[in-house]
A and B are shown apart, each in its own frame.
Chain A
Amino acid sequence: MKILNTTGAIALFATSLLLTSCGNDNAQSKVDASTIKVTGTMEAELTSPPFVPAPVGDRDAKKLIVNMEILEEEGTMADGVTYVYWTFGGTVPGSFIRTRVGDEVEFTLSNHPENKLPHNIDLHAVTGPGGGAASSFVAPGHSKTFSFKTLNPGLYVYHCATAPVGMHIANGMYGLILVEPKGGLPKVDKEYYIMQGDFYTKGENGEPGLQTFDMKKAVDEDADYVVFNGKVGALTGDNAITANVGETVRLYVGNGGPNLTSSFHVIGEIFDNVHVEGGDLINKNVQTTSIPAGGAAIVEFKVDVPGTFIIVDHAIFRAFNKGALGMLKVKGSEKANLYSGVIQEGIYNPEGSTLQSMPGEEVVETKTQNKTLAESIASGKLIYTNTCFACHQANGEGIASAFPPLAESDYLNADLERSINIVLHGKTGKITVNGKKYNSVMTKQTLTNEEVADVLTYVYNSWGNNKTHVKVSDVINANSGH
């Protein structure tokens, strides 16, 4: 009786656990985003930084038309310093694209006729080859259209992916695309768009005149300027972003790189919520969040006291010596009990770090196979890759209805001499392999007897075949018997 009672108790306990976890699952039932239906068409509102388009709110998924233009033009990097930026939509970062999960985006990329170079676009929100880059490669004076369905909510980077990719990104070709979940993100009072980038110029930081891109510094990751929104001072003084005391602020923060990870921090504020890496995971009460190159994050906080709050990359020399500094100006009445006093700035001395390394591990491989067979197989594998792979594929699986498989092939294993002759003389007509019919043409292969022996040895010793070691003499016999 005692045993029954304990088992019963455990059973009850286990069932109750199951029931509670089931309850949690129902609250977040998963919809396969590829099946979301679209109703109607709308043209996307594209905005220049630091502003973002209106929230999607409750709207259904729609066919969303996005028209993005690429412009290569000279702009101001800092006082007295100019730079030729390559831009999406005329700004660095490029226009902000706001979509909803399930939208079918019809994306047209246009390359202005006065531009010199071809470009394309890779949107991290796209599920498809190259993120759209393969379909959007476009010469100046032309445009290309492709479409994709947004399957995952989140905040994503987009950038140009034309060779040399690093140079295109380094010249400012990046931006953000937001995919809101069904129903949209929770409402806040103010939303802004900030994107960090590192720039590499021939001259040092501050050297006046038109600066050109320096490839060597970019490869060495030796940045001259690290800035928000494309230039020094894009978010300071009159360009500062603003809010009122008591409002909730959401910042969509991206990092175009090309090289440096951002340690994003707002001095004097704590992030109430951080959508870590722009995904579903929400962290709370965060001081500084890491935003990788080619990544993004959404930070939300309520501004409780007035003042100017400095936005920085907390790799602090970048903030004070290279331009990674912006401002959030908050207006409203003082709240002395929350804060009274002056904002303090501190300089941090980076401490030296000792490098540690793990002792190396060596793995010694011993070869115990018969050398001759192994050599034959190795050589046969090379021949296979050059000659047979195209039709019979990497693992001998062939192509349905076109080329028969070589893996576990009854046809192959039944008759060695026939197989040799097929390689030497080709084959046409109907055959049945592993129960399936094929009626195709295999051309004869111009291989030496030794090559035939090697490649067949490789095939017979791979993918579940009967491990015959085919010798040159076998090949000669089969050929002469013809």
Chain B
Amino acid sequence: MKTTIRLACIALFALSFQAASQSNMVFIKGGSYTPLYGRDSMQVAIEDFYMDTYPVTNEAYVAFIQAYPEWKRSRVIKLFADGNYLRKWATDKTLGTEQSATAAITGISWFAANAYCECQGKRLPSIDEWEYVAMANESLPDARFTENYNAYILSWYEKPHTSNNDVGSTFKNYWGVYDLHGLVWEWTSDFNSVLISGESRKDVDNDANLFCGKAAIGANDLMNYAAFMRYAIRSSLKARYTMNNLGFRCVKNAND
């Protein structure tokens, strides 16, 4: 059943804009790195993949809804989205008057983001993939230890209302990807692998009863507050949640 739906999606989409959006991906060469939350100095290996250059836009999502009406605000089921799904839109099919068509889509749940990527033959990035690309600045693939990199991100956290800025309004990073920082938070496929309880004093002294497996909670570089925030946001989310400051982009395996 799933394959039929997927074929239907692709068929309907292909005519409209799929070709255009496929070309808006960049190639990311795989490698390995140590993420913030990992086992001591455990390196994570990333395979080659393609990533969307920009987060999915409002207008792209409008097209998605027209092709796949299950995801209209009036029809989406409670299992897959909470009450704030597309809350800012004026109607099922049109954006709010204050929203820009080329701003990132927000107010969508993980299930919705997942379905959108699947419809395009893509998928959501894993946390490891997302962080791997996001640790770059304009010129370096790994800029995490440069002062400006962290300062830029931390200052974004304090800047209100960036969610209505157009995609592409922040910097282009080493890989050619825009807006991983400075625009909106983004869904990942395994956001629910962040095992912080939310009570962060307790996370230091981890409670083996709530989460078994002790090594998963250590943070490598406690000064990396910028990344800390992203993990905190991920751990506060549930898959059906939607947020005004949370969007997504898709990725595709390179070796398929």
**Chain A residues near B (Cβ < 8 Å):** 72-74, 84, 113-118, 120, 129-130, 133-134, 137-142, 161-165, 167, 202, 212-213, 215, 390
Top 3 closest pairs, chain A to chain B, by CB: A137-B198, A118-B236, A163-B200
User: Which of A72, A114, A116, A167 has most B Cβ within 10 Å?
Assistant: A116
User: Does B197 interact with chain A (Cβ within 8 Å)?
Assistant: yes
Do A133 and B198 have beta carbons less than 8 Å apart? yes
Do B236 and A163 have beta carbons less than 8 Å apart? no
A–B Cβ pairs within 8 angstroms, 23 of them: A72-B160, A84-B158, A113-B244, A114-B245, A116-B185, A116-B245, A118-B236, A129-B199, A129-B202, A130-B199, A130-B202, A134-B197, A137-B198, A139-B236, A139-B241, A140-B245, A142-B241, A161-B200, A162-B200, A162-B232, A164-B229, A165-B200, A202-B151
Do B158 and A213 have beta carbons less than 8 Å apart? yes
Do A137 and B236 have beta carbons less than 8 Å apart? yes
**In the complex, A167 Cα to B245 Cα: how many Å?**
20
Task: Tell me, rounded to whole Å, the shortest Cβ–Cβ distance linking A74 to chain B.
Answer: 7
Do A117 and B233 have beta carbons less than 8 Å apart? yes
**In the complex, A213 Cα to B225 Cα: how many Å?**
12
Q: Which residues of B contact A202 (CB under 8 A)?
A: 151
Known A-B contacts: A116-B185, A118-B236, A137-B197. Give 13 more (CB < 8 A): A113-B84, A130-B201, A134-B199, A137-B235, A139-B236, A141-B84, A141-B244, A142-B241, A163-B203, A164-B200, A212-B155, A212-B158, A215-B223
Task: Tell me, rounded to whole Å, the shortest Cβ–Cβ distance linking A466 to chain B.
Answer: 30
Cβ-neighbour of B160 out of A84, A134, A215, A390 (below 8 A): A84
Q: Which residues of A contact B228 (CB under 8 A)?
A: 163-164
0/1 per residue, B142-182, Cβ < 8 Å to A?
00000000010011011111000000000000000000000
**Chain B residues near A (Cβ < 8 Å):** 82, 84, 87, 151, 154-155, 157-161, 185, 196-203, 208, 212, 223, 225, 228-229, 231-233, 235-237, 241-245
Do A117 and B229 have beta carbons less than 8 Å apart? yes
Q: In the complex, which residue of chain B has the Cβ closest to the Cβ of A160?
A: B200
Cβ-neighbour of A134 out of B84, B155, B202, B231 (below 8 A): B202
Do A133 and B244 have beta carbons less than 8 Å apart? no
**In the complex, A215 Cα to B151 Cα: how many Å?**
10
Q: In the complex, which residue of chain A has the Cβ closest to the Cβ of B212?
A: A390
Task: Tell me, rounded to whole Å, the shortest Cβ–Cβ distance linking B127 to chain A.
Answer: 16
**In the complex, A120 Cα to B200 Cα: how many Å?**
10
**In the complex, A390 Cα to B207 Cα: how many Å?**
12
Given A114-B244, A163-B203 in contact, is the A73-B223 Cβ separation under 8 Å? no
User: Which of A72, A134, A163 has most B Cβ within 10 Å?
Assistant: A163
Task: Tell me, rounded to whole Å, the shortest Cβ–Cβ distance linking B204 to chain A.
Answer: 9
**In the complex, A117 Cα to B199 Cα: how many Å?**
15
Q: Which residues of A contact B87 (CB under 8 A)?
A: 113
User: Which of B158, B197, B208, B242 has most A Cβ within 10 Å?
Assistant: B158
Task: Tell me, rounded to whole Å, the shortest Cβ–Cβ distance linking A63 to chain B.
Answer: 25
Do A133 and B160 have beta carbons less than 8 Å apart? no
Do B198 and A84 have beta carbons less than 8 Å apart? no
Do B199 and A212 have beta carbons less than 8 Å apart? no
Q: Which residues of A contact B223 (CB under 8 A)?
A: 215
Q: Which residues of A contact B157 (CB under 8 A)?
A: 116-117
Task: Tell me, rounded to whole Å, the shortest Cβ–Cβ distance linking A18 to chain B.
Answer: 46
Do A215 and B154 have beta carbons less than 8 Å apart? yes
Given A114-B244, A140-B244 in contact, is the A84-B200 Cβ separation under 8 Å? no
Task: Tell me, rounded to whole Å, the shortest Cβ–Cβ distance linking A80 to chain B.
Answer: 18
Task: Tell me, rounded to whole Å, the shortest Cβ–Cβ distance linking A21 to chain B.
Answer: 41
Given A73-B160, A212-B154 in contact, is the A163-B241 Cβ separation under 8 Å? no
Given A117-B233, A167-B225 in contact, is the A162-B160 Cβ separation under 8 Å? no
**In the complex, A161 Cα to B201 Cα: how many Å?**
7
**In the complex, A141 Cα to B237 Cα: how many Å?**
11
**In the complex, A116 Cα to B159 Cα: how many Å?**
9
Cβ-neighbour of B201 out of A72, A118, A165, A215 (below 8 A): A165
Q: Which residues of A contact B235 (CB under 8 A)?
A: 118, 137
**In the complex, A450 Cα to B74 Cα: how many Å?**
64
Q: Which residues of B contact A115 (CB under 8 A)?
A: 245
Q: Which residues of B contact A162 (CB under 8 A)?
A: 198, 200, 232
**In the complex, A212 Cα to B203 Cα: how many Å?**
27
Do B160 and A137 have beta carbons less than 8 Å apart? no
Do A137 and B199 have beta carbons less than 8 Å apart? yes
Task: Tell me, rounded to whole Å, the shortest Cβ–Cβ distance linking B10 to chain A.
Answer: 32
**In the complex, A141 Cα to B85 Cα: how many Å?**
11
Cβ-neighbour of B232 out of A130, A163, A390 (below 8 A): A163
**In the complex, A239 Cα to B224 Cα: how many Å?**
39
